[in-house]
Amino acid sequence: MKNVALFGAGRIGRIHASNLAALPGVKLKYVSDPMAQYAGELAQKYGAEVTSIDAAFADKSIDAVAICSSTDTHSDLISRAAKAGKHIFCEKPVDLSVPRAIACGEAVKAAGVACMIGFQRRFDPTFNEAATRLAKGEIGNPEMLVVTSRDPGAPPAEYIKASGGIFRDMLIHDLDVVRWILCSDGDEAAWLSATGSVLTDPAIADLGDCDSTAVTIRTRKGRLCQINTSRRAAYGYDQRFEVLGSKGLLQCGNHTPSEVVQWDATGIRGDKPENFFLQRYAAAYKAEITHFFDCLQTGAAFRTTVADGVAAQKLADAATESAKSGQAITF
Amino acid sequence: MKNVALFGAGRIGRIHASNLAALPGVKLKYVSDPMAQYAGELAQKYGAEVTSIDAAFADKSIDAVAICSSTDTHSDLISRAAKAGKHIFCEKPVDLSVPRAIACGEAVKAAGVACMIGFQRRFDPTFNEAATRLAKGEIGNPEMLVVTSRDPGAPPAEYIKASGGIFRDMLIHDLDVVRWILCSDGDEAAWLSATGSVLTDPAIADLGDCDSTAVTIRTRKGRLCQINTSRRAAYGYDQRFEVLGSKGLLQCGNHTPSEVVQWDATGIRGDKPENFFLQRYAAAYKAEITHFFDCLQTGAAFRTTVADGVAAQKLADAATESAKSGQAITF
Amino acid sequence: MKNVALFGAGRIGRIHASNLAALPGVKLKYVSDPMAQYAGELAQKYGAEVTSIDAAFADKSIDAVAICSSTDTHSDLISRAAKAGKHIFCEKPVDLSVPRAIACGEAVKAAGVACMIGFQRRFDPTFNEAATRLAKGEIGNPEMLVVTSRDPGAPPAEYIKASGGIFRDMLIHDLDVVRWILCSDGDEAAWLSATGSVLTDPAIADLGDCDSTAVTIRTRKGRLCQINTSRRAAYGYDQRFEVLGSKGLLQCGNHTPSEVVQWDATGIRGDKPENFFLQRYAAAYKAEITHFFDCLQTGAAFRTTVADGVAAQKLADAATESAKSGQAITF
Amino acid sequence: MKNVALFGAGRIGRIHASNLAALPGVKLKYVSDPMAQYAGELAQKYGAEVTSIDAAFADKSIDAVAICSSTDTHSDLISRAAKAGKHIFCEKPVDLSVPRAIACGEAVKAAGVACMIGFQRRFDPTFNEAATRLAKGEIGNPEMLVVTSRDPGAPPAEYIKASGGIFRDMLIHDLDVVRWILCSDGDEAAWLSATGSVLTDPAIADLGDCDSTAVTIRTRKGRLCQINTSRRAAYGYDQRFEVLGSKGLLQCGNHTPSEVVQWDATGIRGDKPENFFLQRYAAAYKAEITHFFDCLQTGAAFRTTVADGVAAQKLADAATESAKSGQAITF
């Protein structure tokens, strides 16, 4: 039995709590959150106790921590968890600062604990199936990747202010997909060009951010990638990618709540995509946390590590800079 | 907290056990099965105890039983559970004999317990969405229903021998769909014609059964339904229906493991349907057992009762007779 | 150069005229129609002359006639064309009376002319591709066929009165599809059950006809077929079939005016099917008439002959009788 | 009756000849081609005469010329046709040199003749339907465009050598789509970044060209566009675009030879796209030439003019330059 402390009882903390609670061999022992009420409700629902982060670190029976607190707390909690000898599952990003993220990696290494970063898309049934077939060579050598990533609507200005900007906040996932799909053989980004616009809400421009972006990456091997994102899609959460290989194409479509198609005088109409990330990635979150404990059990390597977090962060920084300057970055 | 005893630790019993165990407010207390090993493994997995059926009935703390044992035990267990004052969830069918099924309904009524029959398709996200839209009038008045129902492969001869024949064993689900979709306003089957063939395995003919069937039903209101079934589809488990209404059509497609589409020199290829009923109806089984306990909690009526089981059974009997005689049955 | 006389300048005559005019090596010489204005307009458009049917038969330079006049004139015109030594393309049906249709076949044979019956679905790119793959064995041995055939709306009562009823008028095409797809190896219908309802317009009941039908056919080899039809589909002209074989399924979808899919707050919406038969079967009509002249040129056998017309007519008669009696017909 | 001279009897000339020949009110009078055999065969097929370009220009009965000869002859022929007072349909591009293309526009204007440039995608049923709905406001204001454009295989090195490079040869069509879809309200490209790789054939690198490209354009209004192209797709000719608007998305799929879907043990498989541009754009070529003569008849403005050819050429030049320098271009 692995005992776990969960830090953060917000939206994403609740998802992980629910999945942790259903895992055989895992016990959600503690929940911590600055909002006592949130922590209390979540703890009660799954038979856990509310405690402080310090107390959780001090409890020798705790094997692992799940860091689901706000982004600005991640690197501090990773370092402290490492020192306390706890294994770590941490939501993305490691840190908005690349040097601090690198330092986290070093702390983890020094302590000899295991640390996994939550890039849940790698566990999505559709995306993972595409990655698996690509690895099996079903479409030959990968050549081009087109990533479409759109939210149903922009988050509140408050959120955007602390987000690090759209490239670090939203595209970090897409940039991890690029590395996963195009660079699994050691290839790396060699050239990146990004641009952005404000098309949905002028308030976003006032914050110095943008809501619509286009990023292009060329790898050392000459593979090409285009990412297009928007903070708003009238039809909902749009999460797709297509990878062209020398022998074919793998196209990842959205998931839908049902497979009903309605035929009437207006056309032939299927469901909109699953509403947002909690729905679309429900299976991915479950598979991700299962993978974390499976690896702890077997000693296998995590699919996503601090190094992946750092690498995606570097690309996000480069995209931010390129969009600002209007010029490409070479690595 | 509701305490539950599960009878039957086979394929379907395990599904229900897993879903019961995850339900807040529900405790899987006992597991019974003639195969001690099966019962033991399942009980251990979910922290339950192995016990005899008699002991389960005798335990006053047991609120409900889930009957997942072989078909020939259903009616006896329903009657005994009713007498013991336990609420009942029973897998379809109630009984292969309509009179015995009717007697079950009477026993349940006399005892004042609640009894739900497991027609899980009514809880499938796709089928249920179609039924919901139909009820909302999105395609007007229903006129025609086409049900396609195919298994990936025929069961062993041993199974078929005890099954009551393809109409009672396999089409019982399709016939319940007909009643659900076409007869929800009190309409009823008025005319039925069935035919069948043996196309996949001559051994099925030797057993006096068939593996491919075509059933047509006309209701009192003149609505038409066609069901086509096969015990074997090379591409897997095919579970679809289409209902034509005065204002449009609702088409229910299969579910797939992923939304990957592969484009290559052979064509543009999507996934085969989910492998078989345990996969396709995973969400349905979960929703079904949740519904059972929700109704126990709130006192609401079950979506599927013994009366539904009896009605589907009567249609299955009529189809069996029609296929044998080659002539239509009128009700 | 083949000279052709066209009888009938209505909707279907105009289609054939347009396709005839575009065929290299074919000259549309005459147009005849009881409505002088129709004949005149069509003749002028394609540089033909208006003439009487008698004159066309008398003109030795005429190689072939295309009979697109009303159904009740078909058998008479076929017989006269045969006597005049003209090759014949005739729209379905040969005749509403099976004996008269058989007599046509004899007249044609006696005269040694070639006669093709216009079952245009056999030339539809989608249906024909399915038939070709089936013949190549791509899905193994055919076992079950489901035909869905729905018009966008019922024709006027006047039309229905003279139509011979829905089975002879509308299902004749579907019944030919059954023979084409399930019986190409010499198999034949052994058992047929049909039923029908009036669901769209009570005026149709007053005429003794129905607007919604369900037909089931079992062949000598035990293959099963279900046809469902309606005179009205709110979403337009629905022309599909699916054939299950021992190794897979071939599913023929509708054709659409464009491949645009619109994603918005209401869902993900593709085009409705092509509006009606003139649009859906535009390519089929063209391929059909090309086939006619290709066969005349090469001496190859037509894909559809008087015998096919007679066979479909017999099934339509049987369906009419079965729907009336409520009992199955065996052949 | 409009008399037309066709210059060029190659692949594209034959397409236009076939469509011209079928147009009522249009007479294909002359065919010219440096390859006498090609000219002769084509002229004979459609009842035209072989003649020299000079003679065609000199013939007063000629109303219009269709320029389908090699790219390096276009601007000269346009200028001469203008001087001869002939209306002009010219295949894209106007000229590989922007100044020469501009000069063509001036010559045309000075002569007062009409000149249409053949960007056939604007006449494709799917693309045109999307443009029409966009213009109607069905998805609100356009924000992002993703264009996927892939050939089934690279042309021979000889062709590539004279092509002006992939941006001028292949992407010219995609760049016209960008202007058509994103800039119809007078918006214009403000920023462009392009990159390319050689991934399919090293011989293409030897020619100083690339076979895979990624182009991004930001307009003055901040709209974003990404184009991805490849000279090779194992699954055939891939021609799609998606435009995101403030209220939805319009997605243009490929066209397929049939609507057959095959379900078998390998998956659920639809047709590959139409083989190449002659098949995919068959309807577009027909609509395009019809539009040309319709406009000549009615005096309406062409959908695509020399100015459109020049504008697309400028974008192609900018993309060529950007891909070479690795830096973005601002306009």
pLDDT digits (tens, 9 = 90+) for B164-182: 999 999 999 999 999 999 9
CB contact under 8 A, B270 and D271: no
pLDDT by 10-residue block (mean), chain C, 331 residues: 95 94 89 96 92 97 97 96 98 94 96 97 98 98 98 92 94 98 96 97 95 98 98 98 98 98 98 96 97 96 96 98 97 95
Q: How far apart are CA C325 and CA C312, in angstroms?
A: 20
pLDDT at A194: 98
Owner of token pair 């707050």: C265
What letter represents residue D262's amino acid? Q
CB contact under 8 A, D244 and A200: no
Sheet holding D49-50, edge to edge: D49-50, D26-32, D2-7, D62-67, D87-91, D115-118
Residues in chain A: 331
The stretch B136-155 carries a mean pLDDT of 97
Q: How far D197 CA lies from chain A's nearest CA (Å)?
A: 5
Note whether A310 contacts B: Cβ–Cβ < 8 A.
no
**B267 vs D contacts (CB less than 8 Å):** 235, 262, 269-272
Give which of A329, A281, A18, A262 is closest to A125, Cα–Cα: A281
Give which of A35, A7, A36, A38 is closest to A20, Cα–Cα: A7
**D267 vs B contacts (CB less than 8 Å):** 235, 262, 269-272
φ/ψ region of D135 (left if φ > 0, alpha if ψ in -120 to 50, else beta) reads: alpha
Q: What token pair was written down for C331?
A: 């052949």
**C126 vs D contacts (CB less than 8 Å):** 258-260
**C144 vs B contacts (CB less than 8 Å):** 212, 214, 228, 230
Owner of token pair 């052979």: B266
Beta strands at D2-7 and D62-67: parallel, antiparallel or unpaired: parallel
**B264 vs A contacts (CB less than 8 Å):** 138-139, 247-249
Q: Find, in chain C, the residue whose alpha carbon is nearest to that of A269.
A: C269
**What ranges make up the beta strands (E) of chain A?**
2-7, 26-32, 49-50, 62-67, 87-91, 115-118, 142-150, 189-197, 212-219, 224-230, 238-245, 248-252, 260-264, 267-270, 329-330
Q: How far apart are CA B239 and CA D287, in angstroms?
A: 43
Note whether D187 contacts A: Cβ–Cβ < 8 A.
no
CB contact under 8 A, A265 and C271: no
The string of DSSP letters for D131-183 reads HHHHHTTTT-SEEEEEEEEE-SSPPPHHHHHTTT-HHHHTHHHHHHHHHHHHS
Note whether A266 contacts C: Cβ–Cβ < 8 A.
yes
Bridge partners of residue A89, in order along the sequence: A66, A116
| Kind plus residue range of the DSSP H or E element containing B284 | helix B282-298
Q: How far apart are CA C124 and CA D299, in angstroms?
A: 38
pLDDT at B162: 87
Where b means 16+ CB within 10 Å and e means fewer, C301-322 reads: ebbbbbebbbbbbbbbbbbbeb
Q: What token pair was written down for A160?
A: 């955007």
pLDDT at B67: 98
Q: Any residues with CB less than 8 A from the CB of C48 and at least 6 apart, and which?
A: C6, C17, C28, C29, C30, C31, C42
Beta strands at A267-270 and C267-270: parallel, antiparallel or unpaired: antiparallel
Q: Is A87 in contact with A113 (CB distance < 8 Å)? A: yes
Q: How far apart are CA C290 and CA C280, in angstroms?
A: 17
pLDDT above 90 for B21: no
Note whether B152 contacts D: Cβ–Cβ < 8 A.
no
Q: How far D138 CA lies from chain C's nearest CA (Å)?
A: 9
Q: What torsion do the CA atoms of C308, C310, C316, C317 make, to the nearest 10 degrees?
A: -160
3-state secondary structure of D300: coil
Where b means 16+ CB within 10 Å and e means fewer, A88-115 reads: bbbbbbbbbebebbbbbbebbeebebbb
Q: How far D288 CA lies from chain A's nearest CA (Å)?
A: 27
Burial of C247 by CB count in 10 Å (0-12 exposed, 13-18 middle, 19+ buried)? middle
Q: How far apart are CA D204 and CA C159, in angstroms?
A: 65
Cβ-nearest to C258 among D45, D125, D264: D125
Note whether A193 contacts D: Cβ–Cβ < 8 A.
yes
**Distance set, CA C292 to CA C26, C88, C104, C298, D181 (Å):** 11, 9, 18, 10, 44
The stretch B109-115 carries a mean pLDDT of 97
pLDDT by 10-residue block (mean), chain A, 331 residues: 95 94 89 96 92 97 97 96 98 94 96 97 98 98 98 92 94 98 96 97 95 98 98 98 98 98 98 96 97 96 96 98 97 95
Q: How far D147 CA lies from chain B's nearest CA (Å)?
A: 18
ipTM: 0.96
Q: Is B245 in contact with B141 (CB distance < 8 Å)? A: yes
Residue ranges of alpha helices (H) inside chain D are 11-22, 36-45, 53-58, 74-83, 98-111, 125-135, 157-161, 166-169, 171-182, 202-206, 277-280, 282-298, 306-325
pLDDT at C1: 85
Note whether D260 contacts B: Cβ–Cβ < 8 A.
no
Report pLDDT digits (tens) over C207-248: 999 999 999 999 999 999 999 999 999 999 999 999 999 999
Report pLDDT digits (tens) over D91-137: 999 999 999 999 999 999 999 999 999 999 999 999 999 999 999 99
**D146 vs A contacts (CB less than 8 Å):** 146, 148, 226, 228
Beta strands at D189-197 and C329-330: parallel, antiparallel or unpaired: unpaired
For testing the chain B interface, which of C134, C171, C244 should be mutated: the one with the most B CBs within 10 Å? C244
**C146 vs B contacts (CB less than 8 Å):** 146, 148, 226, 228
Cβ-nearest to B252 among A252, A257, A259: A259
Q: Find, in chain C, the residue whose alpha carbon is nearest to that of D133.
A: C262
Note whether A321 contacts D: Cβ–Cβ < 8 A.
no
pLDDT at B127: 98
Report pLDDT digits (tens) over B266-299: 999 999 999 999 999 999 999 999 999 999 999 9
Q: Is D293 in contact with D25 (CB distance < 8 Å)? A: yes
The string of DSSP letters for B310-326 reads HHHHHHHHHHHHHHHHS
Q: Is D4 in contact with D19 (CB distance < 8 Å)? A: no
- Considering only CA atoms, give the Rg of chain B: 20
Note whether C234 contacts A: Cβ–Cβ < 8 A.
yes
Predicted TM-score (pTM) of the model is 0.96
3-state secondary structure of A278: helix
pLDDT above 90 for B203: yes
pLDDT at A22: 82
Note whether C161 contacts B: Cβ–Cβ < 8 A.
no
Chain B touching partners, 3 or more CB pairs below 8 A: A, C, D
What number of C-beta contacts closer than 8 Å exist between A and B? 85
Task: Compute φ and ψ for D67, nearest 5 degrees.
Answer: -95, 110
Sheet holding A26-32, edge to edge: A49-50, A26-32, A2-7, A62-67, A87-91, A115-118
**Which residue ranges in chain D fall short of pLDDT 50?**
none
For testing the chain C interface, which of A150, A237, A255, A269 should be mutated: the one with the most C CBs within 10 Å? A269
Note whether B327 contacts C: Cβ–Cβ < 8 A.
yes
Owner of token pair 């005319």: B191
Note whether A140 contacts B: Cβ–Cβ < 8 A.
no
pLDDT at A185: 94
Residue ranges of alpha helices (H) inside A136-266 are 157-161, 166-169, 171-182, 202-206
Q: What token pair was written down for A118?
A: 């939550």
pLDDT above 90 for B47: no
Note whether A264 contacts C: Cβ–Cβ < 8 A.
yes
Q: What token pair was written down for A197?
A: 């616009």
Q: How far apart are CA A168 and CA B306, in angstroms?
A: 57
Angle between helices D98-111 and D74-83 (to 10 degrees): 10
pLDDT at B153: 94
CB contact under 8 A, D216 and A226: yes
Q: How far C257 CA lies from chain D's nearest CA (Å)?
A: 7
**A257 vs C contacts (CB less than 8 Å):** none
CB contact under 8 A, B148 and C146: yes
**B139 vs C contacts (CB less than 8 Å):** 234
pLDDT at B46: 87
